Amino acid sequence: MARGTLRIYLGAAPGVGKTFRMLEEGRRRAARGADVVVGFVETHGRAETAAQVRDLEIVPRSRVTYREAEFEEMDLDAVLARRPEIALVDELAHTNVPGSRHAKRWQDVEALLDAGVEVVSTVNIQHLESVNDVVRTITGVPQRETVPDAVVRAADQVELVDMAPEALRRRMAHGNIYRADKIDAALGNYFRIGNLTALRELALLWTADKVDEALRRYRDEHDIQGVWEARERVVVAVTGGPEGDTLIRRAARIAARSQSGDLLAVHISRGDGLTGADPARVERQRELTESLGGTFHAVVGDDVPAALLDFARGANATQLVLGTSRRPRWQRALSEGIGSRVTARSGPIDVHMVTHAEAAGQRRLRLPQLTGGLTARRRIYGFVLAVIGLPVLTLVLEAVQGQLDLSSELLLFLGFVVAVALVGGGYPAVFAAAAGTVLVNFFFTPPVRTFAIAEFDNLVALSVFVLVALSVAGVVDVSARRRREASRAQAEAEMLSALSRGVLAGGRALPALLTQVRDAFGQDAVTLLERTDGRWTVIDSVGTPSETGDVDVPVDETLHLVLRGRRLAASDRRVLAAFAAQAAIALRQARLSVRAAEAAELAEGNRMRTALLAAVSHDLRTPLASIKAAISALRMDTVELDPDDVDELHATIDESSDQLVALIDNLLDMSRLQTGAVDPLRREITLDEVVPRAVADAGVPGIGIEVPETLPPVLADPGLLERAVANLVSNAVRHGAGAPVVVRASTLGDRVEVRVVDTGPGIPEEDRDRVFGPFQRLGDRPAGNGVGLGLAVARGFVEAMGGTLEPEDTPGGGLTMVVSLPVGKPSPEVDE
């Protein structure tokens, strides 16, 4: 019997329409004449979903008793006995009630598939085993019901049911997913925009991997070797050398530019095992690759370029990252490197050759020394070549004496002198020319074995030989000196260019500048000194600070740059003076930045004082005027007041006094926040005690409170939290246009959230940050009580306690203020 096929509708979150799509597919197949039954479907009370079941055959559910309660499960035996063509089975990750035939519903589905029944099922991304921990980190909700990834990956078809987070939240707000009493809590917890976006990305990436797996299988079945650039895949070749970290990070950046690009690192080992790679370094590079989201692969191959390209083509790679060769130039001249061979054979794969500090020819930006034409080592090599080569050449020419004339012998000696000049420069060449002249005169110029010269032509030939040899030696020495001078000029130009870019960009850090000076001039330490009150003080230093050194460069009357390590030539001081000037600029910029910050703080203080005076001019004067008028009326002897009038005047005095107290409290609190004098005493407290007191302090009747007693305690200062919640409640009542206000509390992961919900006009998105500023009122309207400090004080207190205060839209209209605080101890896990 052929095994049945499995089709799965994968969703990013509850409510995206997986069950609806499954039933829709079942109805479509039934309309085409297929035998379709509903094995199990959960409508969750949604009318639209229930309507899709109306004319489909439903296999009755089995009833299972567990712990004196009765539960309904899919009747697997009944479905098998019915033997339909297609069975619709909802919620693949569901855990069956103990006593059922299988522990998990996906095992029931496997039984149906083994019986030859085609199954259409559903599952959400959060129920996949591989992403379970990721989903918990994102949403704060652990998922107890999971399904192995292998089950879903083995499905013949996986179709993603997608919906934008905003659209899903609108469905939730309209009551199309949960009951009305669960909507606010769901929108404020699991169904946040950030949570839904992250879950959607997980679902898209998982589906993309499934599609990629199908593509690889198709390419293998049809023996397709070419690269299909359906997705960016960056392969980086690592040798286990010190440059590997640089290459891996560069490849990761290339992969990151394409958002969904894959990073694959590959290490090629030769078949004989003689790789020369450090196993510990290879392992570190493996860990680095995996930490950057990539995968590490080890491949064995004697032909490294072929093995690398075979791997890249097998992985359908689009880009290949290699490091430039670490071999010296003479080795690269003798044999073509791996990079060149890979590039020549790569075909449609883009090859990136990345330079690094270990590459041959790489050098630090450092000034070479002007110490003549060639190095001492080159001169020694020249002398050694002359001492060994001249006797050897003489012996060879003596062995063939009679076959060459004097002119040929002179040319051979001249060629050897030129070779010595190229290797060692002028002094070894002069020595070789002098020694060669003596040897030619003694052994090859008639009469031989004497220093006499019989013919004038031979004297001319020897003289020309000496002049040419000396001229070549001089030319080589001068060219070497010019090359070194050009190299130094290039280094100076690069340094000054980098320095000018720093000047133009501004804000270059002083320590970085001093580090560059130390490296460029080969010093042990660099110190910037400043004279204050007749004494030198260290402003900044790289290396061991010192007031004295080998080089002292005055910047101005008060600043000196001191270098310790080696003395510098006069030519170096020109560039060093530019660095010293830039160091002074960097120091002044840093000090100006500090002064600017102080000025900004003073300006903010002035703005606060100006706003305070403006607020006091109205909001402080109004209750005082009311109190004054009421007291004056009570003291008047000329007017008789009945008891009701007296009570009303007393109430006016009491209400205005409360306004004054609240205003002064907020002003004092804002002053404490501005000066950093708030020092919260955080301890574990329960919200069911603090929230009612805060609502009572707000003095507003009719406020709803929904704070479960089972909530874990939070870490907070009870006094500050009470003031913050009271301010939020007062603000909601004041600006809620008479709409009801509710205070709710719930857990979200390792935090507890207090939500002050109103259904008033709300606050425009662009004004939400501004309303938390001191002395801000919605629309900056002068009408009403308060100076616009309530929200500023509330946020200041909450943040001082290590929490956050953020505004959100209330479903259906209005504003919700969300206070998030850390729990005092781990909360128990709950199912979604």
pLDDT tens, residue by residue, 603-625: 765 665 565 555 555 556 667 77
**What gap in Å lies between CA 310 and CA 320, rounded to an integer?**
12
Distances (CA, A) of 452 to 230, 435, 458, 679, 831: 86, 16, 11, 106, 112
Q: What percent of the chain shows pLDDT beyond 70?
A: 80
Residue 152 has pLDDT above 80, yes or no: yes
Burial class (CB in 10 A: 0-12, 13-18, 19+), 36: buried
Which tokens is 386 given? Answer: 């002359």
First to last CA, the chain: 40
Instruction: Look at residue 369 in the predicted model and tell me its pLDDT.
Output: 46
Cis ω on the peptide bond leading into residue 447 (within 30° of 0)?
Answer: yes
- Percentage of the chain lying above the pLDDT 90 cut: 13
pTM confidence score: 0.41
Using the predicted structure, report yes or no on whether residue 239 has a pLDDT greater than 80.
yes
pLDDT at 677: 56
Helices 621-635 and 643-675, axial angle in degrees (round to 10): 150
510-520 helix and 570-615 helix, angle to the nearest 10 degrees: 170
Per-residue pLDDT for 52 more than 80?
yes
Residue showing tokens 């206070």: 819
Place of tokens 């630090």: 364
Residue 309 to residue 341: CA distance in whole angstroms = 10
Asked if pLDDT for residue 490 goes beyond 70, the answer is no
Average pLDDT score over residue span 338-358: 79
Least confident of 98-107, 262-271, 550-559, 768-777: 768-777
| CA pair distance 741, 756, nearest whole angstrom | 7
| pLDDT tens, residue by residue, 449-466 | 787 776 777 777 778 877
Greater pLDDT, 75 or 495? 75
Chain centroid to Cα 109, Å, comes to 41
- Note the pLDDT of residue 525: 86
Report the pLDDT value the prediction gives residue 4, as an integer from 0 to 100: 92
415, 615, 669, 679, 786 from 782: Cα distances, Å: 100, 9, 22, 33, 9
pLDDT of the residue at 108: 94
pLDDT at 114: 92
DSSP state of 771: G
Could you please report the per-residue DSSP string of 309-366? HHHHHHTT-SEEEEEPP-S-HHHHHHS--HHHHHHHH-TTSEEEEE--TTSTT---S-
In the predicted structure, residue 371 carries a pLDDT above the cut 60: no
Tell whether the model's pLDDT for residue 267 goes beyond 70: yes
- Is 815 or 179 the better-scoring residue by pLDDT? 815
Give yes or no for residue 425 having a pLDDT over 50: yes
Higher local confidence (pLDDT), 454 or 71: 71
Residue 804, pLDDT score: 92
88 has a pLDDT exceeding 90: yes
d(CA 325, CA 323): 6
**Two tokens, residue 399:** 């062995």
Does residue 826 carry a pLDDT above 50? no
pLDDT for 24 equals 92
Looking at residue 369, its amino acid is Q
Distances (CA, A) of 588 to 542, 554, 563, 592: 19, 16, 21, 6
